[in-house]
Each structure stands twice: as structure tokens, then as C-alpha cells.
Structure 1
């Protein structure tokens, strides 16, 4: 039997992401490569793990047990890597769209004073876990909590919502916008890692439509070309300037809560220090 770790990573990613396409994005590979890994795992074990249809899949009864074991194997491997990392020279902070916005540089300097021998490394990740699940991050900046039991999410503060629109849009002439200004417009939405959903608007001011995107770069390109408006956190506005894009605060939009996520079963002193500094960075004044 020849079972490779990449087979297990592909299996867990597919189950968590619920589609082969999203699993490929999380793993940074192609959909075909993910499919090949699942097929190779089934061949190595000599049984069917996922029952596929043209549009979806469901784990077989034995597949459910294999998935649970695969999670345990990958969790133990990640724990091994984190234990080794605690004796290393860096703390990796994952984020999807933006780190901590205007607070990032100040926090970086505070970290260097507190831990001069441990580098703080910011890692952009479009994975739902912010890089925790695949081991590319030790702690992840999240703007919604992770619901998986193996992770814990600590609230550290809140951010205002900003509209993003083409600089040529007539709305860009205003200093402040309201939720009703989005009525009748198309909104670019990243359902995997973004902070905006259809439910944000009341029925009377609901936008005309929502256009799905994957990641901040596609979001900004769509907005700069005038094909859609966007809504995101103040950190996105601070950290992602783009020619042709104007950011405006949305006065009556609910704030976005910011979380730091980490592994539940492996409290790290470095992660604890980072959470403490980040929480202090969000205190008023």
C-alpha cells in the first residue's frame, strides 16, 4: 500500500471545501491534480471513498471513517511542524484579503522589539482556514470565526466597512456612502474568504445582483473597470490601493468583527503574544 500525504490533503480539502474546484484553489493546484490524488488514494486502499455524481459527491460509509483518520494524520503532522516551528525563527500569520490594515506596521515593530530573534512573516492565503489547515500559517487573521472544532477563534476588535467603486463612478464624488446607495447595482462578492454577503442588505435597498469572485485581485479588477461595486473592511481599503479604485466609508453598515484563529490543541507562547499585541492594537486611542 502506497498512501502519500498529498492524497490525504486532497481528500480533506475536497470534503471541507465541498467542491473539487475550491479544494484545488486551497491547495494551490489544479482540479485535475486533486481528482488524480483522490483516485490514487482509492486505488491504493482498494475501495471507494467518495460517491460522485455529475454535480456533487458524498462520502461512502467507509469513506467517512477514512476521512476521520486522514484528518487525524494531517493534524498530527501539523502539530509536529508547529512544535518544530516553536523552536524556529519565525511566526507565520495567514490572511486572505488584508492583514491588520493600518495597524500592521505598528504591530510589526512592536513584535520586533518583543521578539528580536523571531521574524513575523505575513502569508497571504485564499484557503478558508487562512493557511492553518495546510500548515502554511501558525495563526490566521479572520473576519469571521472558524467553525471547525479543531480551531479556536479569538475576537480582537472591529473594523468599519468601506465601499470600493470605480474612481469614475458618480458615487465616488461623495465622501460617505450609505447602504441604500448600493440599491440597483451589482456587487462583487467572494463567498469563500470575503466579508460581504447578500444578507447584509435589507430588502428595500437590496442590490440588483451579486457577482462571484475569487480573491481580492479579481475583486479589485472588476471594480476598477466599473463592472461592479464592492464592500469590505477598512483594512482592505488601507492595504489594497489600486489605480482607478476609490474607497468610501459606509456610514450605516454594521462593523466587521476581527478574529485571530489558531489550533485549539496547541497553545503557543508566540501565538499568545501575537494575539495580545493585536488585541491592544484595536483598542481605541
Structure 2
């Protein structure tokens, strides 16, 4: 029994060519095949779909009612296949970089501008995805900026910079009046934590000065809303302070907290051809800032 799986691109191309050119002969010329081949392809399509698509006379070839509907779908299918080929073949057309919270922080715009200047035929597109791989596993990103391990053996990465940790507190919180804070200042407090993509857990604190507990959030907006309401305090990377200023939230550096490693990640078995170029720009951006890693830092 025939089924939709019997339909292939050759059949759809033949139908579209016959309709566009008006005759089987002209369609054969456009496709670079014989007239008999075009006739067989259209007949095979009609057989696979179980419906007549063309009305044939000695002078004219026209679409049936069903043929008109099938033609519209065939054109869309061929367009989608052409788009897939462009994506696969045009590695320089667009580089999509995923991130969970804060892209590259204060370096984001500078890296985008340098990329545009050095790669005029390629767009650097930043895509937010609150997932462990920041869009890699979902197929929406070619590379990803991570600030915690991806926990996925398929993903490789290299550290491209370090960022200081900052506390986020409500503007009415006593800690907001200080210029900087220490981890011990959070003893007995509730910490807002994004367990999926955040950079903070109770393991950050030494024994004896741990917070009272954590409150789970899902993404940066929920985290900021919680902090602004005074329902929790937070600790995050410097990038968050640059990308997400929020009325009612004050950021203060945590002077005794270890820095956050920023990792550029990719599929281990399929490195993107522009990986090295972007890595260089990002490392240079972070390398120009105090307290960041040198270009020779190894991978994760």
C-alpha cells in the first residue's frame, strides 16, 4: 500500500516544474532530465498520494482541485529543504550563541561590534535559553556561554574569562548601605538559587557561616523579583549586574567569594568552524579586565 513516505523531492520538483513551465517538455528542459522521467515522477507522486493532480490534454496541462492544494505544500516543502541546505552550507552566515542569564556581561556589546567589524558577512546572534546547555541541546545555539558545568558528556568547553561575584539585595536591606560584603554576612539569611542555570549553591559558604536556607527560582527575572521584594538575597556573577539592573535591587561585590568561570561551550563531536574566532575575541575582551584569566587558560 502506498503511503506519504513514498513521496520524495524528485516527485515534488517534477510537479512544480510542470506547473511553472506549462508542459512536460519544458519542465524536462528546466530540470535537465528527459520528458519521460518527468512524466514518471508526476505519475509516481499521484500514485503515492492516491489522487490525480494534473489534467492532461493534447494542448494543455492543468491542476485538479487536489493538485492545487498539493502544489502549495510541495512548494513549501522544497523551500524548507533549500533553507536547510543554506543553513548547513553557509557556516559564515550566522553564529548563534546561547546564554542562560547574562551573555558576556559588560563585554557583550564590545564583542558584538568587533565581530561585525571582523566578520562582515556573519551575524553574531545572542539567544537566551534557561537550560543547562544554554540552547545547545535544544538546537537553537551553535555555541554557548556557560557559568556552571553543563553536566553533558556531549558538550566540550574552554574557560574564556573570570567574573567577580556580587551580592544582590533589596534597596532597603542593611547590606545595601555597604560598599562591599563578605560571605559571612549571609549567615542565617535565605538565598535565592536557580538550581538549573545559576552559579550559587550552599557549597559556596564555609562551614559555620552558611545561610539559613535557599529558595528556588527559575531564571533571572524571578530571582530579581524575589530579591527586590526582600524575600531573599542572592549572589551572582558580575555579568548579571551589567545585564540586569533592576529598580529596588542593589549589587555589592562579595570580597571573599571565589570568581565565576565563564566557559565557551560547543558540541564535542562537531565544533563550529567559527569557534576559534569567537573564542579569541571573548578572551581578549576578558583579558583586558582586572582579575580575568589569560588567553592560555585550559579547557574545562
Fold equivalence (TM over 0.5): yes
Q: Which residue of structure 2 aligns with residue 228 of structure 1?
A: 232
Please say if residues 145 and 265 of structure 2, whose CA atoms lie closer than 8 Å, have aligned partners that are also in contact.
yes
Q: Which residue of structure 2 aligns with residue 5 of structure 1?
A: none
Q: 1:82 to 1:132 in 2, by over 3 A?
A: farther
**Offset from partner CA, 1:101-132 (integer Å, 9 cap, x none):** 01111111110011111111110001111100
Shift in Å, 1:225:
0.5
Please say if residues 190 and 214 of structure 2, whose CA atoms lie closer than 8 Å, have aligned partners that are also in contact.
yes
Please say if residues 91 and 273 of structure 2, whose CA atoms lie closer than 8 Å, have aligned partners that are also in contact.
no
Please say if residues 108 and 120 of structure 1, whose CA atoms lie closer than 8 Å, have aligned partners that are also in contact.
yes
Structure 2 unmatched ranges of 5 or more: 5-83, 290-300
Runs of 4+ in 1 over 4 A off after TM superposition: 80-83
Q: Which residue of structure 2 aligns with residue 118 of structure 1?
A: 122
Structure having the higher Rg? 2
Measured in 2, the distance between the counterparts of 1:174 and 1:145 equals: 32
Please say if residues 146 and 153 of structure 1, whose CA atoms lie closer than 8 Å, have aligned partners that are also in contact.
no
| Structure 1 residues 61-80: aligned runs within 5 Å | none
Q: Which residue of structure 1 aligns with residue 151 of structure 2?
A: 147
Equivalent residue for 1:92, pick from 91, 96, 104: 96
Q: TM-score, normalised by structure 2?
A: 0.66
Please say if residues 156 and 282 of structure 1, whose CA atoms lie closer than 8 Å, have aligned partners that are also in contact.
yes
Shift in Å, 1:82:
10
Q: TM-score, normalised by structure 1?
A: 0.70
Shift in Å, 1:218:
0.4
**Offset from partner CA, 1:122-173 (integer Å, 9 cap, x none):** 1000111110011100100001232322111111111100000101111100
| Structure 1 residues 198-217: aligned runs within 5 Å | 198-217=202-221
**Offset from partner CA, 1:264-285 (integer Å, 9 cap, x none):** 1122222221111111111145
Is 1:255 the counterpart of 2:255 in the alignment?
Answer: no
Is 1:163 the counterpart of 2:177 in the alignment?
Answer: no
Please say if residues 167 and 252 of structure 2, whose CA atoms lie closer than 8 Å, have aligned partners that are also in contact.
yes
SS in 2 for 1:141: strand
Equivalent residue for 2:111, pick from 89, 107, 111: 107
SS in 1 for 2:287: coil
Please say if residues 143 and 265 of structure 2, whose CA atoms lie closer than 8 Å, have aligned partners that are also in contact.
yes
CA RMSD, aligned part only?
1.9
Q: 1:230 to 1:136 in 2, by over 3 A?
A: same
Structure 1 unmatched ranges of 5 or more: 3-79
Measured in 1, the distance between the counterparts of 2:243 and 2:178 equals: 21
